[in-house]
C-alpha cells in the first residue's frame, strides 16, 4: 500500500536565530553549524559527526539501524552517567579555596601546613546534609557535613567534620543502625530527608547516648541560614605530634567570619518549596560576587593530665570540651573563592577520608574515629568504582607522590621503568623515609580483647543538660517546638513517651512543655540513667547561636517589594546603603520585568512575587505607591510576603503608602516594623537588621 504519510523532503537552508547560524535539515529540524574556530562534534573515538539530530533509519519513517554507532555510543554513555550517591551526605555542595596559616605551630606539630606563617594551602570544601538523597532540599532539619580537603605539601589532609561538635553514637558498629533509622522507612520508601518519623525516634529513644546530639539537632543549628553562617567541628580528639613525636591532644573548630545564623522552622519548611537549592545558591552567589566566605580554624589543645582530670572521657564523641574550659586558639583562615568548573567531576567525585592525615597529625583512640578510618576507604571504592579514584584531579595530591601501586580500572597514572617493587637492585623507584614519613604515636595499649563500652562513656545526660541550659529563652523554646513537631509525626505513642522520659533527665520544664504540647496525659517516669545527670556544669555561651550572631547585615539579603509608581530614590538609596554594608538586595515586583517608578524611571525586578517570597530574605522593605498597594492587597502572595516576614520576626521597613497592605496582612506595628520615607531613615533600619531577628515579637506570632 502506498505510504500516504510520506512527506516530501524539504530543501536545506540556513537561518540565523539569536546570533546562532543554524541549518535546516531535511525534516525541518535545526542543526547548529560549526563556524570557523568552533570544534566539530565527534564521537568519543574522535570520528566527526555529520548529523546529531536524527538516528540512522531505513527510509524516513522506517526502523532504526543497529549500525548507527554514533547513536549507540551516545545512549550508552548517557545510560551510565549516574554513579551511586553517597550512602550518607548524598546532597552536597563544594567550593575551592585556600587555607592560610597564621603562625608556626612547630612546638606542637611537625605537620608541614602549620610550619610557616602566611603559607597558603589549596583547599576544597564540601558541605552536605546527611539523610536526604542527592535531589532532596537544602533546608531539611539535619546535621550539615563540613568536609575540608587540604592539599598540603606532605599529602592530603581531610578534616571530615560536621556543623555539630558531637555525634549520635559512641561506637561505629551502631552507624548503619542510626543511618537506617533516619533514612526513608524500608517498607514504604518515605519520608525523604526527615527525621520526623517513627523509625528514627524509636532508635533514638532506645539509645540514651544520643541525647546530647538530640539537643543539638533539635536546636536551630540544623536549619542554618547558609553554609557561610555555620561552624564546623572535627568532633573527635586528634593528636598533634612534633618533631620529637611528643603528643598534644587537639580538637578542631571552624568559626565563620560572619557569625552564626539560622532560620526558623516555619521559614525552613517554606524555603524548601520556594527554593530547594537555597544553600547552594547562596554559596554560588556569594563566590560569584567576590564576597568570599571565610572561616577561622581554631584548635583546643590539651595534654594527658587535662584528659585525665576532665569531667568526661575525651575519647567519647558524644562529649565536647566547652570553649570556656579550653579556649580555642585561631591558627589560620579558610577562604572559599572559586566554584568548581564541573559539579560532577569535583563535588560529586571528591572522596574525603578521615584516615588522610599528613605527618604531624595522628588519631586518638576515639572508637568512632577508628571505625570511620575503615569505612571511608571502603565507600569510595563502591561509589567511584575503582581503586584508582585517587587519580581523579580533585582527589590527587598536589605534592609529588610515588609508589608502586599499579593497574586497575581506569588507571591514569601508569609507572614507567622496570621496577614495580622494592627493594630492588635497579636503583629505580621511591623508598620509604622514616624521618619524613608519617609516624604513629607510640601509644602503650594493653588489656583483654573485649566488646565493651568504657565506664567513662556512661554519662549520657549531663552535657545534654548543659547544652540546653546554655541557650537563650528563645532558643530553648525552639528546641521544645522542634521536639514537639518531630514527635507529633511519630505515630507510636510509646515512642513519644519514651522520649519524654529521657527529656526528664535533661530538663524537667522542657519535658513538661513537650509532653503538654503533645497532649500526653500521664507524665512518664524519668528514664533509667546509667550515671545520674549532673547539674553543676556551667552554661557555655559558645553553644548558643543567638549569643554568637552576626554584628552587621553584611553578607545577608534584603527583599524589596515594589510596585508601579514607587519611590525610585528610596529604592536607590537602599541599594547604595546595602552595598556599603556589604549586603545584598533583591527587587520583588508584580512582574519580573520590573516596575515604572513615580519619576518615570524603570526598576528591573529580580523576582516576581510568586518567585520571591519573603522567606528568601533576611529582612524586607515594602516600597509601593497608593495604587500599587491597592492592587497588592488583592494578591495573596503579596499578603504572604508581608505576613510571613512578620511571623518570622524579621525587620520590616515600609512607606506610608504601604499601610493598606500591612493592615491586610494583620501586621501589628512594633519596634521591628519601621517607616522609611527618605534616605535619612535608612541607616537606622540597616543597623537594626544587623541583629538576627526581633525575637521579642515571637510570643505574639507563635504559641
| Residue 162 appears among annotated catalytic residues | yes
Q: What is the rounded distance in angstroms from the CA atom of residue 238 to the CA atom of residue 501?
A: 34
Q: CA 231 → CA 71, 544, 626, distances in Å?
A: 49, 12, 45
Phi and psi for 294 in degrees, rounded to 5? -140, 145
* Straight-line distance from the first to the last Cα atom of the chain, in angstroms, rounded to the nearest whole number: 77
* Residue range at the interface with ligand HDD (CB under 6 A); choices 85-93, 217-225, 265-273, 455-463: 85-93
Residue 619, preceding peptide bond in cis (omega within 30° of 0)? no
Contacts of 515-521 with C-beta under 8 Å, sequence gap 24+, read: 517/480, 517/481, 517/484, 518/484, 518/487, 518/488, 520/496
Under rule CB under 6 A, residue 336 binds ligand HDD: no
Q: Does 85 bind ligand HDD (CB under 6 A)?
A: no
Per CB under 6 A, 145 contacts ligand HDD: yes
Q: Return the number of the residue (237 or 544) whose C-beta is nearest ligand HDD.
A: 237
Least distance in angstroms from the C-beta of 376 to ligand HDD: 4
Draw the binding track, 339-368, toward ligand HDD (x: CB under 6 A; -: no contact).
Answer: -----------x-x---------------x
CA distance 575 to 585: 7
Options 147, 504, 510, 609; binder of ligand HDD; rule CB under 6 A: 147
Residue 540 interacts with ligand HDD (CB under 6 A)? no
Within 13 Å and on the Cβ side, how many CA atoms surround 365?
Answer: 10
306 is in an annotated binding site: no
What's the closest the beta carbon of residue 501 comes to ligand HDD, in angstroms? 26
89 annotated active-site: yes
**Is 200 flagged in the annotation as binding?**
no
How is residue 453 written as a grid cell? 563500652
**Cα gap 601→607, rounded to integer Å:** 18
Cβ proximity of 686 and 665 under 8 Å: no
Residue pair 613/270 in contact by the 8 Å Cβ criterion: yes
Q: Determine contact, residues 339/284, Cβ cutoff 8 Å.
A: yes
**What mask of x and - would describe binding to ligand HDD in positions 232 to 261, judged by CB under 6 A?**
---x--------------------------
Provide, rounded to whole angstroms, the least separation between the CB of residue 263 and ligand HDD: 21
- 627, 644 Cβ separation under 8 angstroms: no
Rounded to a whole number of angstroms, the minimum distance from the CB of residue 340 to ligand HDD is 13
Contact 603, 571 (CB under 8 A): yes
Q: Which of 89, 236, 279, 502 is catalytic?
A: 89
- Mapped onto helix, strand or coil, the DSSP state of residue 635 is coil
Least CB distance to ligand HDD at residue 285 (A):
21
Q: Are 619 and 689 in contact (CB under 8 A)?
A: yes
Q: Is 86 annotated as a binding residue?
A: yes
- Cα 304 to the chain's mean position, in Å? 34
Is 172 a binding residue for ligand HDD by CB under 6 A? The answer is yes
Which residues inside 216-235 make contact with ligand HDD, applying CB under 6 A? 235
Beta strands in 211-264 (DSSP E): 232-233, 238-241, 247-256
Three-state secondary structure string covering 539-553: CCHHHCCHHHCCCCC
**Does 556 show up as a binding residue in the annotation?**
no
DSSP state of 519: T
- Closest separation in Å from C-beta 125 to ligand HDD: 9
By CB under 6 A, which span of 84-92, 271-279, 486-494, 558-566 interacts with ligand HDD?
84-92
Among 70, 96, 110, 126, binds ligand HDD (CB under 6 A): 126
For residue 212, state whether it binds ligand HDD (rule: CB under 6 A). no
Q: Are 124 and 347 in contact (CB under 8 A)?
A: no
Q: Which is nearer to ligand HDD, 376 or 485 (CB)?
A: 376
Considering only residues 294 to 323 of the shown chain, the ones binding ligand HDD according to CB under 6 A are 317
Question: How many angstroms from the chain centroid is the CA of residue 456?
Answer: 33
Distance of CA 316 to the CA centre of its chain: 25
Min dist CB 129 to ligand HDD, Å, is 10
Q: Does 177 bind ligand HDD (CB under 6 A)?
A: no
DSSP strand pairing (619-623 vs 652-654): parallel
* Total interface residues for ligand HDD by CB under 6 A: 25
Beta strand pairing status for 595-596 and 619-623? unpaired
For ligand HDD, which residue of 152, 162, 210, 349 counts as binding (CB under 6 A)? 162
Residue number with CB closer to ligand HDD (302 or 389): 389
Please identify, using beta-carbon distances, which residue of 363 and 617 lies nearer to ligand HDD. 363
Annotate 309-327 with three-state secondary structure: HCCCCCCCCCCCCCCCCCC
374-413 residues near ligand HDD, rule: CB under 6 A: 375-376, 379
Closest to ligand HDD by CB, 200 vs 265, is: 200
CA pair distance 205, 181, nearest whole angstrom: 11
Nearer of residues 162 and 540 to ligand HDD, judged by Cβ = 162
Question: According to CB under 6 A, which one of 41, 87, 196, 339 is a site residue for ligand HDD?
Answer: 87
Interface with ligand HDD (CB under 6 A), residue from 86, 141, 648, 693: 86
Selected binder of ligand HDD within 93, 108, 157, 175 (CB under 6 A): 175
* Residue 239 annotated in ligand binding: no
**C-alpha cell at position 49:** 559527526
Instruction: State the binding string over 35-74 for ligand HDD (x if CB under 6 A, else -).
Output: ----------------------------------------
CB 352, min distance to ligand HDD, A = 4
Q: Which of 286, 168, 306 is nearest to 225 (CA)?
A: 286
- Smallest gap from Cβ 589 to ligand HDD, in A, equals 38
Residue 175 annotated as lining a ligand binding site: yes
The span from the CA of 571 to the CA of 295, in Å, is 33
CB nearer to ligand HDD: give 372 or 639.
372
β-strands 232-233, 238-241 pairing: unpaired
State the residue number with the nearest CB to ligand HDD: 145
Cell of 252: 578542631
550 binds ligand HDD (CB under 6 A): no
Q: Which residues pair with 161 in a beta bridge?
A: 146
Nearest to 149 by CA among 363, 378, 390, 374: 390
Q: Which of 31, 96, 156, 162 is catalytic?
A: 162
CB of 366 or CB of 581, closer to ligand HDD:
366
Interacting residue with ligand HDD among 31, 70, 88, 348 (CB under 6 A): 88
Stretch in the footprint of ligand HDD (CB under 6 A) among 154-162, 292-300, 455-463, 595-603: 154-162
Query: Which residues in this chain contact ligand HDD in the complex, by CB under 6 A?
Result: 86-89, 92, 126, 128, 145, 147, 160-162, 167, 172, 175, 235, 317, 350, 352, 368, 371-372, 375-376, 379
* Catalytic residue annotation: 89, 162
Binding residues for heme: 86, 126, 175, 372, 376, 383
Amino acid at each position: 500500500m502506498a505510504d500516504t504519510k510520506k512527506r516530501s523532503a524539504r530543501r536545506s537552508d540556513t537561518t540565523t536565530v539569536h546570533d546562532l547560524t543554524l541549518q535546516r535539515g531535511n525534516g525541518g529540524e535545526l542543526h547548529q553549524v560549526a563556524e570557523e574556530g568552533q570544534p566539530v562534534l565527534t564521537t568519543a573515538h574522535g570520528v566527526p559527526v555529520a548529523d546529531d539530530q536524527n538516528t540512522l533509519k531505513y527510509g524516513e519513517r522506517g526502523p532504526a539501524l543497529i549500525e548507527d554507532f554514533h547513536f549507540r555510543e551516545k545512549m550508552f554513555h548517557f545510560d551510565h552517567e549516574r554513579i551511586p550517591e553517597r550512602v550518607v551526605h548524598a546532597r552536597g555542595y563544594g567550593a575551592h579555596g585556600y587555607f592560610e596559616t597564621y603562625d608556626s605551630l612547630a612546638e606542637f606539630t611537625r605537620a608541614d601546613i602549620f610550619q610557616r606563617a602566611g603559607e597558603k594551602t589549596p583547599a576544597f570544601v564540601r558541605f552536605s546534609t546527611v539523610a536526604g538523597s542527592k535531589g532532596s532540599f537544602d533546608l531539611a532539619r539535619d546535621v550539615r557535613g563540613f568536609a575540608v580537603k587540604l592539599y598540603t605539601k606532605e599529602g592530603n589532609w581531610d578534616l571530615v567534620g560536621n556543623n555539630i561538635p558531637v555525634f549520635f553514637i559512641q561506637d561505629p558498629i551502631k552507624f548503619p543502625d542510626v543511618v537506617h533509622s533516619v533514612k526513608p522507612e524500608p517498607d514504604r520508601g518515605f519520608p525523604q530527608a526527615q527525621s520526623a518519623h517513627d523509625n528514627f525516634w524509636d532508635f533514638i529513644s532506645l539509645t540514651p547516648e544520643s541525647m546530647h546530639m538530640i539537643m543539638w539537632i533539635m536546636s536551630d543549628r540544623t536549619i542554618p541560614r547558609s553554609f557561610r553562617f555555620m561552624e564546623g567541628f572535627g568532633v573527635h580528639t586528634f593528636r598533634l605530634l612534633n618533631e620529637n613525636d611528643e603528643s598534644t591532644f587537639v580538637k578542631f573548630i571552624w568559626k565563620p567570619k560572619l557569625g552564626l545564623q539560622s532560620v526558623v522552622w516555619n521559614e525552613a519548611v517554606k524555603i524548601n518549596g520556594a527554593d530547594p537549592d537555597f544553600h547552594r545558591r547562596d554559596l554560588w552567589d556569594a563566590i560569584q560576587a567576590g564576597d568570599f566566605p571565610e572561616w577561622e580554624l581554631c584548635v583546643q589543645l590539651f595534654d594527658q593530665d587535662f584528659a585525665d582530670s576532665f569531667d568526661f572521657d575525651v575519647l567519647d564523641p558524644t562529649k565536647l570540651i566547652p570553649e570556656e574550659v579550653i579556649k580555642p586558639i585561631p591558627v589560620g583562615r579558610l577562604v572559599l573563592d572559586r566554584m568548581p568548573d564541573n559539579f560532577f567531576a569535583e563535588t560529586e567525585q571528591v572522596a574525603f577520608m578521615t584516615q588522610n592525615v599528613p605527618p604531624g597529625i595522628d588519631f586518638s583512640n576515639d572508637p568512632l574515629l577508628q571505625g570511620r578510618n575503615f569505612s571511608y576507604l571502603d565507600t569510595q571504592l563502591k561509589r567511584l568504582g575503582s581503586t584508582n579514584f585517587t587519580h581523579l584531579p580533585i582527589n590527587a595530591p598536589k605534592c609529588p607522590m610515588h609508589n608502586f601501586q599499579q593497574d586497575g580500572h581506569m588507571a591514569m597514572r601508569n609507572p614507567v621503568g622496570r621496577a614495580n617493587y622494592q627493594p630492588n637492585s635497579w636503583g629505580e623507584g621511591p623508598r620509604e623515609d622514616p624521618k619524613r614519613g608519617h609516624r604513629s604515636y607510640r601509644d602503650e595499649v594493653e588489656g583483654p580483647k573485649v566488646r565493651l563500652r568504657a565506664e567513662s562513656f556512661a554519662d549520657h545526660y549531663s552535657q545534654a543538660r548543659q547544652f540546653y541550659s546554655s541557650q537563650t529563652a528563645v532558643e530553648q523554646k525552639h528546641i521544645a517546638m522542634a521536639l514537639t513537631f518531630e514527635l507529633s509525626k511519630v505515630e507510636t505513642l510509646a515512642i513519644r513517651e519514651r522520649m519524654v522520659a529521657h527529656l526528664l533527665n535533661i530538663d524537667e520544664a522542657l519535658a513538661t512543655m513537650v509532653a503538654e504540647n503533645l497532649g500526653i496525659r500521664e507524665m512518664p517516669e524519668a528514664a533509667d540513667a546509667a550515671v545520674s545527670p549532673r547539674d553543676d556544669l556551667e552554661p557555655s555561651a559558645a553553644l548558643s547561636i543567638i549569643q554568637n550572631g552576626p554584628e552587621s547585615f553584611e553578607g545577608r539579603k534584603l527583599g524589596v517589594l515594589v510596585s508601579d509608581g514607587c519611590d525610585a530614590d528610596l529604592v536607590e538609596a537602599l541599594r547604595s546603603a546595602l552595598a556599603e554594608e556589604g549586603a545584598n538586595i533583591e527587587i520583588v515586583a508584580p512582574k519580573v520585568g520590573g516596575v515604572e517608578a513615580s519619576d518615570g524611571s524603570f526598576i528591573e525586578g529580580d523576582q516576581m512575587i510568586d518567585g520571591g517570597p519573603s522567606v528568601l530574605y533576611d529582612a524586607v522593605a515594602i516600597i509601593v505607591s497608593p495604587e500599587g498597594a491597592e492592587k497588592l492587597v488583592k494578591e495573596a502572595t503579596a499578603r504572604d510576603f508581608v505576613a510571613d516576614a512578620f511571623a518570622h520576626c524579621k525587620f520590616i521597613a515600609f512607606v506610608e503608602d504601604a499601610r493598606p497592605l500591612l493592615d491586610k496582612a494583620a501586621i501589628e506595628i512594633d519596634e521591628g516594623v519601621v517607616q522609611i520615607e527618605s534616605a535619612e531613615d535608612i541607616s537606622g533600619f540597616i543597623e537594626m537588621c544587623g541583629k538576627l531577628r526581633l525575637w521579642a515579637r515571637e510570643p505574639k506570632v507563635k504559641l
